[in-house]
């Protein structure tokens, strides 16, 4: 027999479902743009909750509540049912309890406590999407793709993603040991990290050489677009830019509007990104509105397997508009939109509601952005020159060159270039490409 409380729960779920269908709230949702397609008519939609399956749920709830080896209150069981329902949808939909909801809000502002890891769930384990710059995770040597199998000797298998994240967060100064499986290794690795208050710098900039600027975006927070404009102002204050590198490697994404704002910095007009979903206000279009803040200087965007979500939107938009050369390796491929739907008692659900598409209509989901020029991460060592190699100027009675100087001209930046190639091969290749583009542009002007 099914008890009365289970039947009441079933009736309550039916009532709540009907209410939610008409009153779905969204947080920080932009004004809806013209819809790309009309949603199906309500009379063509399938029933919200089939009664037979609802009876099965109520019966299962009653059996667990009454027969499980330990007593569990009904509130916990219902919360677990919601978690299970969302965890079976896709890797990014999740139930957010009060603490998880607060953590999410802290992350978008770039100030929270923990290790500085962007992670996802894969086959029951925690997969590292990217370690964030200047955090304990980045300093420890953790890499995108690492699979975390234990936290302080406690197996991750069986944890939800939120539970694993909660375990990795804690008081600043406290330590945690991560057991990690890395592709190509025969044995797991162990990393001991000290938790810190994570204050992630969204944007950094510097000149690599005279005229060649570098901007690194660690993640897309509220205000990142303005930070990129400020970074450009600082670079141009040091001299005219001949080229710019935008580094989106290991950038896990973040706020959609910030990705649009950053793309708008480098574009004059046209579509940046659009989204498509089942509900009308999931179909949105974002277009460039401002002039190119760089004046159209050559632009190279660096990406890798840790480039995800909002950073893929930027790379895709600049690639489709032929505004930048995308260099690196295939990106992560997270092309879905998550909407935070608040519930009562300061809780919420994070639900995948749409997919991203680049201006040319490419879906980013599970494919990512394919770079224009493939450059893998590599270790470069300088080959030793042969001291016995003879050149023309070493031969006796060689003819003068007519320039009034037999000395070979020194290569500008030779030592700095060698150091950059050894420390960051991909960045060095991007800088080399920018120099080549400028040499060709100058030759065309002279011709």
Q: Which of 309, 311, 350, 435 is catalytic?
A: 309
334 is catalytic: yes
Q: Where in the chain is the domain with CATH 2.30.42.10?
A: 111-199
Which residues fall within 8 angstroms of residue 111, CB to CB, at 6 or more apart? Answer: 197, 198, 199, 200
Q: Tokens 């991750």 belong to which residue?
A: 156
Task: State the Cα angle at 342 between 78 and 90, rounded to 5°.
Answer: 65
Longest CA–CA separation in the chain, Å = 110
What are the distances in angstroms from CA 127 to CA 22, 144, 146, 147, 355?
A: 37, 8, 6, 5, 22
Homologous superfamily of 203-374: 2-enoyl-CoA Hydratase; Chain A, domain 1 (3.90.226.10)
Residue 113's CB: how many other CB atoms inside 10 A? Answer: 15
Q: Which of 334, 336, 350, 435 is catalytic?
A: 334
309 is catalytic: yes
- CA atoms lying within 13 Å on the CB side of residue 178: 28
Task: State the Cα angle at 49 between 6 and 346, rounded to 5°.
Answer: 70
Encoding tokens for residue 38?
């009309």
Q: Which helix (H) or strand (E) holds 315?
A: helix 310-320
CA 335, CA 332: separation in Å to the nearest integer?
Answer: 9
Shortest CA distance to 253 belongs to which of 300, 202, 293? 202
Q: Where in the chain is the domain with CATH 3.90.226.10?
A: 203-374
Rounded to two decimals, the pTM is 0.73
Q: Which of 133, 264, 320, 424 is catalytic?
A: 320
| Tens-level pLDDT at each residue, the chain (447 residues) | 445 555 555 444 443 333 333 333 333 333 333 333 344 454 555 556 788 999 999 999 999 999 999 999 999 999 999 999 999 999 999 999 887 777 666 666 555 678 988 888 888 899 998 888 888 999 999 998 899 999 999 999 988 888 898 899 888 899 999 999 998 899 999 999 999 987 767 899 999 999 999 999 988 988 999 999 999 999 999 999 999 999 999 999 988 999 999 999 999 999 999 999 998 789 999 999 979 999 999 999 999 999 999 999 999 999 999 999 999 999 999 999 988 888 887 889 999 999 999 999 999 999 999 999 999 998 887 777 777 788 888 888 888 887 766 566 655 555 666 788 888 999 999 999 999 999 988 888 886
320 is catalytic: yes
Quickly name the fold that domain 111-199 has: Pdz3 Domain (2.30.42)
The answer to whether 335 and 365 are in contact (CB under 8 A) is: yes
């Amino acid at each position: 027999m099914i008890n009365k409380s289970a039947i009441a729960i079933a009736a309550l779920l039916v009532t709540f479902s009907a209410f939610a269908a008409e009153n779905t709230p969204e947080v920080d949702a932009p004004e809806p743009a013209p819809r790309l397609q009309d949603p199906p008519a309500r009379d063509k939609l399938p029933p919200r909750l089939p009664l037979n399956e609802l009876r099965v749920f109520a019966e299962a709830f009653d059996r667990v509540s009454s027969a499980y080896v330990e007593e569990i209150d009904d509130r916990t069981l219902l919360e677990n049912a919601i978690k299970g329902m969302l965890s079976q949808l896709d890797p990014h939909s999740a139930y957010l309890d009060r603490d998880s909801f607060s953590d999410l809000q802290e992350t978008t502002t770039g100030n929270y406590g923990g290790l500085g890891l962007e992670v996802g769930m894969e086959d029951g384990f925690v997969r590292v999407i990217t370690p964030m710059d200047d955090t304990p995770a980045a300093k420890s040597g953790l890499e995108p793709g690492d699979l975390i199998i234990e936290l302080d000797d406690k197996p991750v298998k069986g944890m939800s993603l939120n539970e694993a994240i909660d375990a990795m967060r804690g008081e600043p100064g406290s330590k945690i040991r991560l057991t990690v499986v890395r592709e190509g290794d025969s044995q797991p690795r162990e990393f001991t990290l000290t938790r810190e208050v994570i204050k992630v710098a969204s944007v950094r900039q510097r000149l690599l050489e005279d005229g060649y600027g570098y901007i690194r975006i660690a993640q897309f927070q509220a205000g990142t677009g303005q930070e990129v404009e400020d970074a450009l102002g600082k670079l141009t204050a040091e001299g005219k830019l001949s080229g710019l590198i935008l580094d989106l490697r290991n950038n896990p994404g973040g706020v959609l509007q910030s990705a649009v704002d950053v793309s708008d910095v480098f574009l004059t007009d046209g579509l940046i990104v659009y989204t498509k979903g089942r509900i009308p206000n999931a179909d949105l279009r974002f277009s460039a509105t401002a002039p190119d803040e760089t004046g159209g200087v050559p632009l190279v965007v660096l990406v890798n397997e840790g480039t995800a979500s909002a950073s893929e939107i930027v790379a895709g938009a600049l690639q489709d508009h032929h505004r930048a050369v995308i260099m690196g390796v295939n990106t992560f491929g997270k092309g879905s939109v998550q909407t935070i739907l608040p519930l009562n008692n300061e809780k919420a659900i994070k639900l995948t509601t749409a997919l991203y598409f680049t201006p040319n209509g490419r879906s980013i989901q599970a494919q990512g952005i394919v770079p224009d020029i493939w450059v893998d991460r590599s270790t470069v060592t300088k080959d030793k020159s042969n001291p016995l190699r003879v050149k023309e100027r070493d031969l006796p009675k060689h003819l003068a060159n007519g320039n009034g100087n037999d000395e070979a001209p020194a290569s500008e930046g030779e030592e700095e270039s060698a150091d950059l190639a050894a420390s960051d091969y991909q960045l060095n290749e991007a800088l080399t490409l920018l120099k080549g583009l400028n040499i060709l542009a100058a030759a065309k002007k002279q011709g």
